Structure 1
């Protein structure tokens, strides 16, 4: 038996293993695509490598049977193509795993065991068996096993894996803490609020996975492109075979087959398929490391195009932790006013409601349980307190309901608002009985964040339900010139719609349930980390640090990511535009075409992987 046949037989066996065992996923993918009447990358990989394998199989046995001259075999070409495509997918998967690890991993950073105090006894339990309301003891150096509220102790907690901030944060009774963060010093007793899959770190992991599995507009366009590109390349390969067999090399089936095979192998759109997802996977992981969680990949693409951003005031530009600074009671005592207001606001999540409850608790007041509470969006709340209808609301609510405000209340409100404070009015059975003033300081980082956004080409608008005086005071301190005050949720929504109708690409940042409609309507909604579940659910991006600096980080990273994706796509298209004509003209052998295709895929992956270090440097350099 000729030596070539023995060598060819070895090639046949090795190639068969690669083609029909290692390459099995491509055949399944091609089968499913054809069954759905679509064409994707798997179809072209399966057709091209199968053509190389079967042609070599035919050549090998024809030569052995006839004892004729040796003919070139292309078993190794089919094996190289499959290996190269799998290498690209391996690199993509590795990048995805690394991004998930940077985003907090699969929850492995949280403690697997928790010390739970029940009936005065310390019990060691699996963390996912902790129930809401359980008291959990965490000692120095231990990772926190649950989300909760500190009830006893003072300590420093490292929250870098959630917020990207490396400095420890001091915690005291009443402060929130999250699973996966680490107790740097001290000891804490925590009232558990969430454990296992319900913790913040688990929700972040799920959001990152969701973003990585979703598709951007660019990806959908690439998929559509593959839908017609694949059959077009198959027709081109057929036309190449016919041209060589009929005109260029009449009757030379070998030459015609080699040229057609080279076209099929060169045309495999592997680089196109890899150009977008790897960059997005890396970017979403880096953003999560900075405390910015992208809930859908399309938001990252839209973010790069923003030219305007609307921001709420309370909890977004300001600290979101207002404190009660003064009260005026025109009927009854100040203690009775505070007690009744705390009762009416008992179930409200608004920052001002929390400030009222905290002030009542600090004064040792025990509010009665309210009945029939009703919340008026952007205005206030009404409830039955001790059999009387007690209401707390802003000036818009007072005007709508016709509360009679005497001169003392009006003077108190005017004086407090001139100093930038926010005033709420209280009424009993429809008659104003007093007013409460609150101060909510602007975040120290807000001015620098606004300046950075303006440098990036964004128009910044402050939209708040607060009155004109405190709104202007906060805007002036933050460096925002365009201020819209006294806005109800529906008016914020209309503002977003109006800006978009003018052709603007608009982002919205807010933290309250009254911001949810505007967050959902914006091109990109930023939900602040301290916000309500409604805001977090409506937003497209969650800012865990609850600072506007996260928007600047996200904007810079998104723009660099989209630039990287465009580079990848340009390289992939340029490769096809150059290589396919050479293959059709017979200037490339099949193994050359297969190798060139593999190198193009690896090059695209390599360019995408360069994004990681660049994003890390960018986030640090751009921060004000």
Structure 2
């Protein structure tokens, strides 16, 4: 049984989520996590690098958030505290400023590094005071552009850890220091019969290349919150409400339950509520994904974020602020993004082990040569020590992943596959479950006329023109599809005479004493209009095909029926077959009814489908498959897909979809063709194969070169690797990685 004290202590434990600035790599997240976990009062810490956020469970009776914030600052990170909206704005400003500074440092580094490289490679010994010139050009590169590497390396050293920054700082620092010494005191090594080489170009080129990779990564990372911002943008800033019998304009944040809200044509619905007065069509595609707006009248529910069409409504606010379905979708997208595992760069993981080994080998080399080496032993010890550190430079290791990804992303762009998130490209090859949204992904995403069947002997150009005239005046969304179909057939519009729109049924017109009706079966029944048995059977068949049937009557008889449906894209069936042949299970999710879903799934060749699915259900289904151990890709085009796209391992947005879907996804298919999915997966396989090859050769090079640099061949062959040759070998390893990455561009089977 818990004591009162224990209960009180447990209640002091709270969980908070914060934004973090200053993280530059996946191992930064690990470093921050380890540091905070050591604090007394911290129960649990989870740092998410892609989302730049941290979730902390802590006992506020033992440790304050200010103490936690200070502990993070001590190792170079800033936990932002305050109101959520203000924090997001502050974080965005910090990250934008950081990206601009990084861009400036990169450009500055390029400007100063290029002359150093040219002098060292092409004009060696031809320029007066060349070593002094290169030293002067290298100083700003190391101590402004590359300063952060040394700062981070020092902080790592204080906490006895290492990453790529440590290797960069160590190798460039040693190369620069050794070069400065040889520039200032060239006679030291000359007096011992050794030529005093300088390695300024190695130091500045390493920093420039690593900065380039970091800039590209930071620029991609800066877009991670765009989907959240755009979802938030679906709520209007100001709303018209009726309070105490008066209409007034209030801020969105001031809306309270019970407010009567006025919606004009084109307005966004600000809250979840109920229609109290008026009739209109509401575009609910952001929730259901279905392209046809839904008719709303008194008593019907409306949802925040949806868009009022042509009518005016008064709605009663029932759920406001964080209670609305839109707010829940925003929360789910945020949660899905933060629950993604951090991008654990293989190079960073390996560097954590590799750095201590290299340092250990370098120190051991120095000791052995100083103790057992020939005279002058100190000179040989210094040369071998420096050679080991230079040849172990992480340039090839650092380029192994980003160069392959850059080429892979470029190759994808050529094919119309835009890759926003490199993590998606790294993961796509492992996908074994593909979820497809129906509307706009499998289908075209907009209703169109599939069949126009005239009663035998009843067709006339005049009837067709009148049908076009009536539908041109109708506000019903299906009428737009009929108008487009008839206009594509060069139908000519004529005066529809007296026109009457009948809510929920269709439209009616009188021309020269004849009544014309266009609408559903209810409209025909209400006007005692007869339908031939032949058209009845045709209409039944079309309904079974999940098509919406519209009746067109002249006088008291139906002369034609029109079928409207959202058609499957021509390439869908073959594209799905290609994916299935790759051993990937395909699922279809839709907010549409079961009958329509079954028809579409059958035509597309999809075995598994779910109907009547809400946005949150899509995300939960993704999570269910992930819990079964599957690597899930989700392809969609709507706002209602944003949660599932963010939750999936690989989010794929269709190019004709919403901006929010594209921001939530890691890959966008510009041609909106599902055949591009199999191409994206093949591209991922080729890219990952290249990355693994690059890492293999980078490490094989080090495994072979480091022992030679340490002097392992000297006792047998009398061979000692010159530091200059070590610098050249290091450059060659980088060139081999770049060359291997560029081979991706020539792949013809992607």
TM-score by length of 1: 0.60
2:717 aligned with 1:592: no
Residue in 1 that maps onto 2:652: 526
| 308, 318, 340: which one aligns with 2:443 | 318
What's the CA shift for 1:308? 0.9
Structure 1 residue ranges without an equivalent (≥5): 1-7, 101-214, 329-333, 346-351, 368-384, 393-402, 426-434, 620-624
Report how far residue 540 of structure 1 moved: 2.2
Query: How many residues of Structure 1 are paired with residues of Structure 2 in the alignment?
Result: 438
8 Å Cα contact 1:422-1:470 kept in structure 2: no
Contact 1:339 1:366 in 2 (8 A): no
Mark the CA change 1:460 to 1:244 in structure 2 (over 3 Å): closer, same or farther.
Answer: same
| Equivalent residue in structure 1 for 2:749, among 596, 608, 618 | 618
RMSD, aligned CA = 4.5
| 1:43 aligned onto 2:169 | yes
Q: Choose which of 692, 707, 725 in structure 2 pairs with 1:566.
A: 692
> Who is 2:582 aligned against?
456
Distance 1:335 1:515, change over 3 A: farther
Cα displacement string for residues 330-376 of structure 1 (whole angstroms, at most 9, x for unaligned residues): xxxx989x86996365xxxxxx7963785799896999xxxxxxxxx
Moved more, 51-60 or 577-586: 51-60
- TM alignment of 1:214-233, pairs within 5 A: 220-223=345-348, 225-226=350-351, 229-230=354-355, 232-233=357-358
From the superposition, tell whether residues 74 and 424 of structure 1 become closer, same or farther in structure 2 (CA, over 3 Å): farther
Does structure 1 residue 512 correspond to structure 2 residue 628? no
* Compared CA separation, residues 23 and 579, structure 1 to 2 (3 A): farther
SS, match of residue 345 in structure 2: helix
* Residue of structure 1 aligned with 2:475, choices 327, 335, 343: 343
* Aligned twin of 1:609: 742
Residue correspondence of structure 1 range 296-445 to structure 2 within 5 A: 296-324=421-449, 343=475, 345=477, 355=481, 358=484, 415-421=541-547, 437-445=563-571
Q: Once the two structures are superposed, what CA deviation does each residue of 1:25-62 show, in whole Å capped at 9, x if it has no partner?
A: 24435422232325344313322312432453476334
User: 1:443 is paired with a residue of what secondary structure?
Assistant: coil
Which residue is equivalent to 1:130?
none
Does the Cα contact within 8 Å between 1:30 and 1:42 map onto a contact in 2? no
Tell me if the contact between 1:293 and 1:541 (Cα under 8 Å) persists in the aligned partners. Answer: yes
State the partner residue of 2:44.
none
Would you say the 8 A contact 1:527–1:539 is kept in 2?
Answer: yes
Give me the TM-score of the superposition, normalised by structure 2. Answer: 0.50
Cα offsets for 1:95-114 (capped at 9, x unmatched): x9xxx9xxxxxxxxxxxxxx
- 2:137 maps to 21
CA distance in 2, matches of 1:292, 1:342: 40
Contact 1:467–1:485 at 8 Å: present in 2 too? yes
- Partner residue in 2 for 1:114: none
| 2:314 matched residue in structure 1 | none
Residue 487 of structure 1: how far off its partner (Å): 2.7
Please point out which of 170, 195, 204 is paired with 1:73. 195
Residue 496 to residue 70, structure 1, CA distance change in 2 (3 Å) = closer
**Structure 2 equivalent of residue 282 of structure 1:** 407
Larger relative CO (CA 8 A, sep 6+): 1 or 2?
A: 1
Q: 1:341, 1:356 within 8 Å by CA — same for their partners in 2? A: no
Give CA-to-partner distance per residue, 1:459-515, whole Å, 9 cap, x none: 111222333343333333322222323333333222212111111111111223332
Find the residue that maps to 1:546 and give its secondary structure.
coil
The aligned residue for residue 480 of structure 1 is: 606
Distance in 1, matches of 2:744 and 2:692, equals: 13
**Secondary structure, in 3 states, of the residue corresponding to 1:355?**
helix
- Aligned with residue 388 of structure 2, among 259, 263, 266: 263
Q: Which residue of 1 aligns with 2:623?
A: 497
Contact map agreement 2:366 2:385 (CA 8 A) in 1: yes
Q: What does residue 591 of structure 2 align with?
A: 465
CA distance in 1, matches of 2:352, 2:452: 68
8 Å Cα contact 2:645-2:652 kept in structure 1: yes
Q: Is the 8 A contact 1:308 1:459 kept in 2?
A: yes
Residue 705 of structure 2 is aligned with which of 551, 568, 579? 579
Does the residue aligned with 2:653 lie in a helix, a strand or coil? strand
Q: Structure 2: any 5+ residue segments left out of the alignment?
A: 1-123, 157-164, 221-339, 454-465, 507-521, 552-560, 714-720
Q: CA–CA distance in 1 between the matches of 2:186 and 2:643?
A: 68
1:343 alignment partner, SS class:
coil
CA distance in 2, matches of 1:87, 1:18: 15
Give the superposition deviation at 1:84. Answer: 6.4
The aligned runs of 1:532-543 (5 Å cut-off) are 532-543=658-669
Give the whole-Å Cα distance in 2 for the aligned partners of 1:224 and 1:569.
12
Larger Rg: 2
* Contact 1:516-1:534 at 8 Å conserved across structures: yes
Paired residues of 2:391 and 2:705 also in contact (CA < 8 A): yes
Contact 2:438-2:590 within 8 A present in 1 as well? yes
Shift of 1:291: 1.5
Q: Is the 2:390–2:723 contact (alpha carbons within 8 Å) kept by the matching residues of 1?
A: yes
Q: 1:273 Cα deviation (Å)? A: 0.9
Q: Deviations over 1:385-411 (max 9, x none)?
A: 98x97599xxxxxxxxxx9x9999999
Return the match for 2:363 from 218, 238, 247. Answer: 238
**d(CA) in 1 for partners of 2:178 and 2:613?**
68
Structure 2 CA distance for partners of 1:300 and 1:443, relative to 1, 3 Å: same
- List aligned pairs for 1:129-140, cutoff 5 A: none
Q: Which moved more, 1:589-598 or 1:481-490?
A: 481-490
In structure 1, distance between residues paired with 2:399 and 2:139: 18
8 Å CA contact 1:279, 1:609 repeated in 2: yes
Give per-residue Cα distances to partners, 1:182-208, cap 9 Å, x unaligned: xxxxxxxxxxxxxxxxxxxxxxxxxxx
Deviation at 1:526, TM superposition (A): 1.5
Kept after mapping to 2: 8 A contact 1:417/1:469: no
CA contact (8 A) 2:642 2:664 kept: yes
Distance, in Å, in 1 between the alignment partners of 2:749 and 2:547 is 37
Structure 1 residue 270: Cα displacement: 0.6
